[in-house]
Amino acid sequence: MQHYRTDNPFILHFDSTDYVQNKPLSGLRLAVKDLFHVQGIPTTAGNPNWLNTHDLPQVTATPVTQLIQDGCILTGKTITDELAYSLNGQNIHYGTPFNDKYPQQLPGGSSSGSAIAVANGLADIGLGTDTGGSIRVPASYNHLFGFRPTHGVISTENMVGLAPAFDTVGWLCRDFDIFAQVAHTLLPELPPSKTVEQWQIACPTALLHACEHQNLVQGLLDKLKSNHRVSQLDSPFDLPNLQQAAECFRVLQAWQIWSTHGQWIEENKGGFAPDIAQRFKACQAISRQQQQQAQLLQDKFKGQLQRLFARHDFILLPTTPGRAPLQSSSALELASYRTTLMSMTCIAGLGGLPQLHLPLGCHQGRPVGLSIIGPAHSDKLLFSVATYIQELLN
């Protein structure tokens, strides 16, 4: 089978206009990634075999319920990469949704359908998941705001998980005010975050130099320096350490995936795209010793992040290496790009940290952006930082 493009990011589309009135999100259209259970509606998880081997959900996922209760109109369930195990946004079974403004580029995955529904004006809010970058990456590729919360603060029950130790629920929006309002609905009341008049900002030098839109990021850093202390750091963000961290994340994610889905995958061989099947095969090959070694590396990396946040309030970094890859990119090119990309996205994943993506502009005609990573449970502080940065950018 070949990948094919679709201008319809929905697996199922609903025409309902019913909504709870006089609520913060009243009348806003909600597109839901097809991992979240909705009572009485099938969940495909991006794969027909999954659909055919699982019963209709009897309970709706909590984040979906919260958004509907706060006034959202559920417009449909959206395409996802198979079992959410990709960052490309391609699906050989249901299609690869594309952005009307950038039809030749990959949408980014695995929350591709939710991102494209929002980017193409078919929804106001795209609900998705982020395990290894699946909110942050499509947000960057499609000029959207995207948020991955602190691990565990939003319920992941009643949905199809990928790797529970890393899975988070996040969202994407075109409009920043709506984006921030969703935070009030979905984020629990957390202990007050540290607020400061003069932020201490860390920027990883290696990642800044590795991204193709370095000049755009540097321009923002120069503006921030007028009121805040910006430190361009090497350790722990030198490329060898980040490459080791990305490999650590790959091993731990793979171990989790096989522990969660291995039996079902074994029973349904032959029903996956070649690249997804290859990744599942690699998951199966991870040994207990590899998992234990990677766990030690994760603990070490988390310690480095904790020491960094003792001196800095947040990290500012490029979200992706640059523009989205083209749909015509070869499998080899995408595999190489994924390795570089994971050295950026693994930071929040390994640390269980919140990360907020902001669209920065365009580089050579296609969107690029940057991210803010904060310490655990600084989720709402990141929205305050984002508001300030938006004012600088505008």
User: Hey, which residues are catalytic here?
Assistant: 33, 110, 134
**Tokens linked to 330:** 């070869």
Contact 127, 169 (CB under 8 A): yes
Instruction: Name the DSSP letter for residue 255.
Output: H
HSE-up of 92 (CA within 13 Å, CB side)? 11
Map residue 386 onto helix, strand or coil: helix
Burial of 51 (0-12, 13-18, 19+ CB in 10 A): middle
For the chain, report the end-to-end CA distance as a whole number of angstroms.
45
Q: 99 vs 121, 122, 138, 340, CA distance in Å?
A: 10, 11, 11, 23
Contact 112, 9 (CB under 8 A): yes
Q: How far apart are CA 319 and CA 183, in angstroms?
A: 20
DSSP string, 168-196: EEEEEESSHHHHHHHHHHHS--PPPPP--
Q: How far apart are CA 112 and CA 142, in angstroms?
A: 10
Contact 193, 346 (CB under 8 A): no
